[in-house]
Structure formats: structure tokens, C-alpha cells
Structure 1
């Protein structure tokens, strides 16, 4: 459910650093880590921590075994820790250079060979999720066919592991590849406080067939808000992480990917920073947003959250679609409701939609992972639920259940 972004993990880190990152994320409740074999930051020319390049002669059919020993290590260590690896065969600049370093090395033929080779190497590992694309959308037929060929190559050998696609900002994979090989949709909602992440989920649900969707790249903690603009809007923080995460999951996403500007690039003070990275990654591991993702996972796992149905009509008070937009879902059995207020705005909730005549209500604090019991009500009552703080960073989850929650179990696990 909770994924982590470590694009440069294989390219820049040694085994001890890889262990440090993976152990930290496993302890915090992450389930998937996303990383890249042919990395974005000059991944073909700049060697890994052991001086190895991934390919000989820039040829996707000539893999360097010494480089891939570290890829193997990441996959194996992740499996030991109970983590899946969202493994990108390549960053997008290797088939569509765009704004990247490149060089472009893929065509339809070698993309298929490369995909089949990777699939053969990792088909016996149970913790692989294949992610094609790498922050790109296809711009011409050749781009489309390269990706299709890579997927075809994987499927020739590997019929088990899931495959998806990582598009660039503001896009859903299913907009480009609504094809049999795409097992689930992935979208990149991007790095802006103005983004309404739930809209990507709702758009995906309108497609046929209805595939699960995951927010694969959202607002990064510790990155400039809308960094591509000339105007300065400040920095995104843990509140941005929480808003984009809860908006994504409560609207129906199957997963959410946490990202941090310092961690995706494994930045330290001796490296050239990208996008004004400012905190060494080993320190940034302790930024609050990542721990709060673990709180979120534990809260959702109190419920069969996969059975939630997004329903905006549950919110009875005025609810403009701005940074304070309240989002709510109700279970198919009508035995629980989860409503999220991003800035502490009061919630007027339609309790009559619950099946039980008596309901129990709680606040969940996403910053601390703590619950506060509110009261019990009849389903025909109309209470106003007002959090005790309001403003940016004062987000809360309102929980309504037909039976009392076992809060002690939550704290003890």
C-alpha cells in the first residue's frame, strides 16, 4: 500500500547504504520501494558505487554482470525484509531523451531482448513489480512500440509479475497504454500544492476495463512547490505528503508512493544537488512524512479499505474544491465511513448512510498516529464534527463505525 521512491538507490549507493535505506523503510511500514536499473542521473556513463557501468558499449543486449550483482542484491535484501521492488528497467531518457541526459539506446528489437533478459534473471524472485516508462510519455509511434516491445519481452519469460507504466507529471499510464500487458494503472500527480490527486483516481475509474490505480509519484517532501515555475511558492512539506496520500487512497487508489527530494537522488553534501536538494539523504530518512505513511497504513488496515466506495455526497456542508476539500468514502457493507479534512475544516456527515442504528465516531491524527474517541450517535442524528485545530497542516481523519474500534490492538501491533 505504501511505496517509497529511491530512484538512484542502485546507481549511487553501496551495500551498507542500501541496507540502511531498505531497513528504515521496512520498519516504517513501507511495502514497495521503487528504483531504476539504467538510472536517470547519467546512469550509463557514471558508474555505481563499485565503479561498474550497467552496459557494455551502450548496448541493452550487453549487460555488465558486475553491475547487475548489485541489482540482485537490492532484490534479495528487499525480499528478506518483506519488501517488493518496483523495478524500472530504464529511465525514460533512454528511449525518449526529452529533458534528460540520455543517450537514447533503445529500439523495438533491443527493447524486447532487454525485457526478456531481465525477466529471465528475476522470474524466480517473488517480490518484483515491473515499472516501464520512467517519467516519460510516448510522443511518437516509435516510443509506443519500444515500450510495447519491452513489455512483450518480459511477458515471453515472465507471466507472473505485474507490469505497469510510470508516466510524466499530470498523466495516467492508462491514457497511453490501455492494453492487456498493463496490469494496473499508475499516475504521477506531480509536485504542486495545487494538485487534486483524487481527480486522477476518479479519471482512472472511468476507464474500461476498470484496473487498480496507484499514485506512483506525488508531492515530494522537501522539494520546491512547482519548482519548474519562475515564481517561488515555498517548499512542500509533510502536510503535502499527507494530503496527497489521503486524497489518493480515500478516493480509491490501491497504493500511494512517498517521495523525498533528497532521497530519490540519494543526495549528500559531496554531490551536485538536483532541484535544490538541501538535506543529506541519511538525515532526510527521518523527515516526518515517511513515518506518517506508516501511521496511515496501520489506520487503513483496521478496515477492509479495498471495499471503500468514494462518495462526495456524504459531505453535507459546503465543500469547495480547494486545499481544504473534504473527501469521504463508505464501505460497500455500509459499516464504516472515512472522511478526511486537509485543513481542519468542520465535517457535516450524512450518518444515515450507515447500516447500523448506532455509530461510533473517532478522530485520527495523521501526524501522530493517535486516535481520539468522540461519541456515539444515532444514524438519524446530525452532529457537526469540528477538529481542535484549523489551518495548513491541521489535517484529520474522521472515522465512523458500526462497532467500537479495538484501539488497543492498533497501538500494540
Structure 2
């Protein structure tokens, strides 16, 4: 089962996989010694991590979810992390202390996570990427964003409509600057979210500054669902599929298209450029056209499916020159070149072509001379 999941995601182009240890009732230590039954199966974990690395995936290792660590003394958690670091830091891995660390903004848990973060960063000889997964963005208080050990900011956009564009942009433009990642938004299947919803959440986050997107599918996040099972904690979020069906929802494949789209561009030089877009939609966040560019040669424009297909969109402050363009279909992962080159007006305005059809599309512009 594990190999099949890794094989599918690796073929689709994924880069990381979240792996949580300890569960919701961790008993890995007795008062004076390790729990032997807890240690007995670590050789299986070794093989899991090794296999993921062989397939090009980086496991991100964590130790539970929101209240899971509350009853575990800090001294025991430090011993567990010392063991994890000693055993796995030579692999290609990342560290995730816990999920929803600031659930209900419990000050004791937040302080415990903060001290663990300092401990892990100090102990890890390779300084692997370290972060902590937060509570829903409307409820968390950003307590640890500026801590030195906190390498990148995690966002939980949640499973309703994604966060406002201005929220993402405020994080991208904050000082001191840190990379941020949308780590939980619109899992496919939760509240009937389909591939259209997944693409909308993913592209708008990345176009607004997130350095990636974490895909999730209802029936794959813990616990895995088997035929005939009904787990109330899962059903509350919508109808969950058995794990092998949840693995192959259409949105999962389309996230591979997303990666290939950005890798076809010099993405490392491109940043959000919202002020260059003239779309005349006022405060309608759902219809917002989002631009990323390097201000010299490349521009990527995202058109959401909520925007009318023939809605006129212009860019301003475009450098003089000759441009070529190509459409990208995020459902099929296919580029289609525009038939003719074009140029902005003498005032730097450029009217964008109408989309090939309704739904969401991306347009790539390149200044060729």
C-alpha cells in the first residue's frame, strides 16, 4: 500500500510527503526507559523513508496533531526528537514539530513547541527545513512566525473558500521576510470540493506568493479508509473514499500539471505583481486576475473560472518590446501558443487576449526583443 502511494505521487510529480509519528496518545517512554514495543517497528520507518527518497520524495516528519503532545513531558519530547534526528537527519527529510500547534491558542502548548523548535534546530547537524503546522488562519495568532528556528511560515487556509488575496500578499510583503507555504486548503472531497476548487486554491496561493501548495484528499489523511468502514470523524467532513480511490482523484493529477507549469518558467525570479493588473472587478476577490512576473522578460497570469470568459483585462507599466504568449490549460497540462506576436502601447498598456474557453486558464507572456 505504502509503495503504491509513493509510486503514484512520484509519477505525478510531487516533491514531499507528510509522515506523522506518535499519534494522538504517544507512549514511547516509561519513567526510566524506552517502551520496547514502540521501538520495535522503527526498521519499517527506515524502509519507508528510504523508499520515498529513492522515488524523489522528501518525507516531512512530525510527531502528532494539536492536543497529541499536551500530556507528554517536554523532557520526553526532546528525547524523542533527539532519537529522530540521530536516526534520520542523514536522509533527505524535513521536520514538522506538530500539526495545529496553536489549536485554541493554548499558551502552554505554544511555549512547549517553541522550546522544541530551538532544541531541534540546535541539535540537527544538517539544519533541515523546520516548521510547525498552524490552526485555521482566521483563528491562529501567528505566535512563532519570527522565531529564529522557524524556517518558513505555514498557513492553513481551511476547507471553505480560500483566504483573501490580500492576506497572502501581506505575508509575502512582511518584514522580516520569510517564505510561506499554503499547507491545508480545499482538500479534495472535503465538503464536496472538486478539482476545480483545488486548482483555484492552489494557483491563487502561489500567484499571491506561496512557494508551493500542499494537496490533500479526503480518505487519505488519517485514518485511512477501507471498504465498508464509516468513521464518524471523517464523515463529518464529507463522504470519504477508500484510500486507493482517494489517491487518484483528478485534482491530484492536476497538481502535477501545476508543477510543470511553473518549472517551465524562471519561477525563482518571479514575484506577485498585483498593481500591474487592470481587471475592473472592484473588490470581487473571487474574480481577481493574478499576475506573477520578473518585471523584465516573463509574466504568468492566472484567470479564475469565476471571471467571464470575454472579460477584458489589461496590464500596465509593461516594458516596450515584442511579446509572444501561450495559454496553459491547468486541467490537461497543455500549452498552446498564440498565433501572433504583439506589443504594448506607448504608454505601457497591454490588452490581454480572451481565454480560449470558460473556466480557469493561465497565460504566459515572454518579451522576446
When normalised by structure 1's length, the TM-score is 0.79
Give the aligned CA root-mean-square deviation in angstroms. Answer: 2.5
Which residue number in structure 1 is paired with residue 57 of structure 2? 83
**2:291 paired with 1:328:** yes
Instruction: Report if aligned partners of 2:164, 2:285 keep a CA contact under 8 Å in 1.
Output: no
**2:123 paired with 1:157:** yes
Partner of 1:182: helix, strand, or coil?
coil
Which residue number in structure 2 is paired with residue 276 of structure 1? 238
Instruction: Report if aligned partners of 1:189, 1:200 keep a CA contact under 8 Å in 2.
Output: no
**2:159 paired with 1:191:** yes
> Which one of the candidate residues 35, 39, 42 is aligned to 1:68?
42
Greater RCO, 1 or 2 (C-alpha within 8 Å, sep 6+): 1
**2:249 paired with 1:287:** yes
Distance 1:69 1:171 in 2: 40
Please say which of residues 160-169 and 141-150 is displaced more in the overlay.
141-150
Partner of 1:264: helix, strand, or coil?
coil
Greater strand fraction, Structure 1 or Structure 2: 1
Which residue number in structure 2 is paired with residue 302 of structure 1? 264
Structure 1 unaligned runs (5+)? 1-16, 45-53, 96-103, 225-234, 405-413
**2:232 paired with 1:248:** no
Instruction: Report if aligned partners of 2:279, 2:289 keep a CA contact under 8 Å in 1.
Output: no
When normalised by structure 2's length, the TM-score is 0.87
Give the direction of change, closer, same or farther, for the CA distance of 1:307–1:203 in structure 2 (3 Å limit).
Answer: same
**2:170 paired with 1:203:** yes
Instruction: Report if aligned partners of 1:108, 1:145 keep a CA contact under 8 Å in 2.
Output: no
Partner of 2:109: helix, strand, or coil?
helix
Instruction: Report if aligned partners of 1:111, 1:149 keep a CA contact under 8 Å in 2.
Output: no
**2:360 paired with 1:395:** yes
Instruction: Report if aligned partners of 2:136, 2:157 keep a CA contact under 8 Å in 1.
Output: yes
Distance 2:226 2:312 in 1: 43
Give the direction of change, closer, same or farther, for the CA distance of 1:111–1:117 in structure 2 (3 Å limit).
Answer: same
> Which one of the candidate residues 348, 355, 361 is aligned to 2:325?
361
Cα distance, 1:29 vs. partner? 0.3
**1:10-409 matches, cutoff 5 A:** 17-40=1-24, 44=26, 55=28, 62=35, 64-95=38-69, 104-125=70-91, 127-137=92-102, 139-159=105-125, 160-170=127-137, 175-177=142-144, 178-192=146-160, 194-196=161-163, 198-224=165-191, 235-265=192-222, 266-273=224-231, 274=234, 275-319=237-281, 320-332=283-295, 334-343=296-305, 344-345=307-308, 346-350=311-315, 352-353=317-318, 355=319, 357-374=321-338, 375-380=340-345, 382-390=350-358, 394-403=359-368
Instruction: Report if aligned partners of 1:326, 1:341 keep a CA contact under 8 Å in 2.
Output: yes
Which residue number in structure 2 is paired with residue 14 of structure 1? none
Partner of 2:101: helix, strand, or coil?
coil
Give the direction of change, closer, same or farther, for the CA distance of 1:60–1:326 in structure 2 (3 Å limit).
Answer: farther
Distance 1:287 1:316 in 2: 35
Give the direction of change, closer, same or farther, for the CA distance of 1:55–1:247 in structure 2 (3 Å limit).
Answer: same
Distance 1:337 1:135 in 2: 35
Distance 1:128 1:59 in 2: 30
Distance 2:113 2:183 in 1: 18
